[in-house]
Amino acid sequence: MLQLTLMTNLSDSILLNTLNGRPAERPPFWFMRQAGRVLPSYRQLKEKHSFWQLMKDPKLAAQVTLLPVSDLGVDAAILFSDILVVPYALGMGLEFTDQGPVFDTPLAGMDHPERALRPDPSRLDYIYRAIDEIIRTKPASIPLIGFCGAPLTVLCYMLQGLSRKADFPDAIRFIYTHKTITLQLIDAITELSLEYATEQAARGVSVFQLFETHAGLVPQELYMELFMPAVRKIAQRLRDLQVPFIFFPKGLGTGICKLTPDDCDYLGVDWQTSLIQARQMVHREIGLQGNVDPRLLYAPPESILRELDRLIDFGSCNTNWILNLGHGFLPDTPYESACILANWIKETNWKR
């Protein structure tokens, strides 16, 4: 596992200590989609500002990024941004609507989509300014997690043009029909993602997560053939920069057994896979992250706590584990339930 040289002002970070192989009295925790959605303080900001405005204004982006630290007591902040900023920087027109993100011209309908991309890395400069502001204003002991979308997930949006069809039928058809062009598009996404990840690291992110939200849309063998080489390039870049790398391939299923310590430092486990089974399948040198079902937070408090107690035995004997959701907070998750989860993690006797 990657050995991170901790900066003095982050030496008290339970997340970084865990990533660095230093057992803690409890598992560290943060939540996917914690910067927004579930927080009343975020909803108040959304009443005054659009999603783009919140992302593009450095002070607002920093404020949203850090809200979960104060409102939920998480052990890390994650950059408030979106996985689709990379195709935006590749020249695609992008709007964030109330129904989700929409590209103005989906690539699947073009004769030569690989020729339509116009990479402009400067379109990401606003994110780097936001990171600078976050680093300047965050608590000294709270690390910042950077991220980007993984190639399959990003490509699906670029080909389909919108997110309302969760199975991305046009995108999947294109991948099977135009393999050579698909590989060219993957290369374009990967090259800009490498530059994006490199600059995030240079600006001060302490951990990096790659979100492959739709890994389960294609068979494992096809994923390993077409997309895993790109994941490995991104993983190697972060390793070269001494930044711990978390890979979250939602829906990959038993394909996680094919991953090696060269592929990631920690593996995000989705809620469809039990942690116990994941630990049996995944190389012992790879730490695990996950995997509370976000829908559990709709349940009554007593039911939430009863299910969470099932994690204690796993957490007592697996110190290379980050507690997280098995996917992001759902938009209508009760804030009170998120607080129950956060408080339970901190108050539980983890028998370590």
Task: Enter the DSSP assignment of 29.
Answer: B
Q: Which amino acid does the sequence have at 50?
A: S
Q: Would you give the end-to-end CA distance of the chain in angstroms?
A: 21
- Using DSSP's 3-state secondary structure scheme, residue 16 falls into helix
Please say if the pLDDT value at position 179 is more than 60.
yes
Model pLDDT, residue 276: 97
> Alpha-carbon distance 129 to 176, whole Å?
39
Which domains, ranges and CATH numbers included, belong to the chain? 8-347 (3.20.20.210)
Q: Show the tokens assigned to 186.
A: 């993957």
Q: Averaged over 116-121, what is the pLDDT? A: 95
Residue 84 has pLDDT above 80, yes or no: yes
pLDDT over 70, % of the chain: 97
What is residue 7's predicted lDDT score, i.e. its pLDDT? 41
Q: Tokens 């980007």: give the residue.
A: 148
Cis peptide before 291 (omega within 30 of 0): yes
Reported as a single tens digit per residue, the pLDDT across 186-200 is: 999 999 999 999 999
Check residue 5 and give its pLDDT.
38
User: Is the per-residue pLDDT at 246 higher than 90?
Assistant: yes
Using DSSP, state whether 162 is helix, strand or coil: strand
The average pLDDT across 302-319 equals: 98
- For residue 226, give Cα distances in angstroms to 74, 80, 152: 35, 29, 9
Segment 17-24 mean pLDDT = 94
Q: How far apart are CA 314 and CA 125, in angstroms?
A: 42
Count of residues making up the chain = 352
In this model, does residue 2 exceed pLDDT 50? no
Q: Which residue carries 């949203």 as its tokens?
A: 64
How far is 121 from 124, CA to CA, in rounded Å? 6
- The region of weakest confidence among 26-30, 32-36, 133-137 is 32-36
| pLDDT at residue number 165 | 63
| pLDDT at residue 96, as a whole number | 86
Q: What is the pTM of this model?
A: 0.95
pLDDT at 218: 97
C-alpha radius of gyration, the chain, whole number = 19
Q: What is the mean pLDDT of residues 309-324?
A: 98
Q: Give pLDDT, residue 19.
A: 97
Helical H runs in 220-311?
220-226, 228-240, 275-281, 301-308
Which residue from 324, 311, 295 is spatially nearest to 350, judged by alpha carbons? 311
- Does 34 have pLDDT greater than 50? yes
Say what the pLDDT of residue 20 is: 94
pLDDT at 3 over 60: no
| H-helix segments, the chain | 14-19, 40-46, 51-56, 58-71, 85-89, 125-137, 151-160, 169-177, 179-203, 220-226, 228-240, 275-281, 301-308, 312-317, 335-347
Alpha helices in 47-178 (DSSP H): 51-56, 58-71, 85-89, 125-137, 151-160, 169-177
Average pLDDT, the chain: 94
Res 298: pLDDT: 98
Q: Please report the pLDDT score of residue 163 as a whole number.
A: 60
pLDDT at residue 245, as a whole number: 98
